Amino acid sequence: MSLHKVTLHVPPKTKLSGRLDVLMMVSGFLLAVFVGMHMLFVGTVILSPRLMDALAWFFEELYLVQIGGPLILLVMVGHFILGARKMPFRQKEFIAFRTHTGMMRHTDTTLWLVQVATAIIVLIMASIHIYVMLDTLPITATKSAVRIQYGNWLPFYVVLLAAVAVHIIIGLYRLGVKLAVITRKNRPKARKLLLYVLAATAVVSLLTHLRLSLMTV
């Protein structure tokens, strides 16, 4: 199939589309901040399961979990819908996009394709995670340990955390490029810094799940 016969879906550039792009960037940044705070919260189990339980109790007493969970899910779905405007869902669009990506060998374009794939994974798996959390309140370190040790949830969380981390790191990189914070001059340093953040995230996640795996339940 020749490429000139394929019409890619390119949203028209209007004031509305520009505002939707801004809304997508803001919602994405807020979700990235939330994920960082959530990882720090769960990571407190490394120091002490009692500390995690105390923080969970505090959040639930203020209804931050009961209200925040559905709210985060709503923002996440909205962010996905905003991003889906530019995703190549149709077969012809995807084939053309993949072909062009292979021909250009453009790193940023490839990263966007990875971000699209991880977005779909995150939307599905994070929705399941939020539902399970809200359905089994209150949150405790012991419940988390039981899910890891006896509930066969470890592979699920490994895939989810990997997809979330990769999606957010690429998202922050692309946001920096759009806002001209990351320029052609400092791009290599920015990529290296974000890789360090990704590595730190992986270490914290590994230690958290190792602690939960070794807890006495």
Contacts of 171 by beta carbon, 8 Å cutoff, 6+ apart: 28, 32, 115
Question: Token match 């453009």: residue?
Answer: 106
Most distant CA atoms of the chain, gap in Å:
62
Cα separations in angstroms, 97 against 11, 28, 44, 93, 182: 15, 23, 42, 6, 25
Structure tokens at 23: 């809304």
The answer on whether 38 is annotated among ligand-binding residues is yes
174-203 burial, b for 16+ CB within 10 Å, e for fewer? bbbbeeeebeeeeeeebeeebeeebeebee
The answer on whether 4 is annotated among ligand-binding residues is no
178 touches 29 (CB < 8 A): no
Structure tokens at 166: 């990769």
The answer on whether 9 is annotated among ligand-binding residues is no
The answer on whether 79 is annotated among ligand-binding residues is yes
Structure tokens at 90: 């149709």
Annotated binding site for heme b: 38, 79, 129, 167
Binding residues: 38, 79, 129, 167
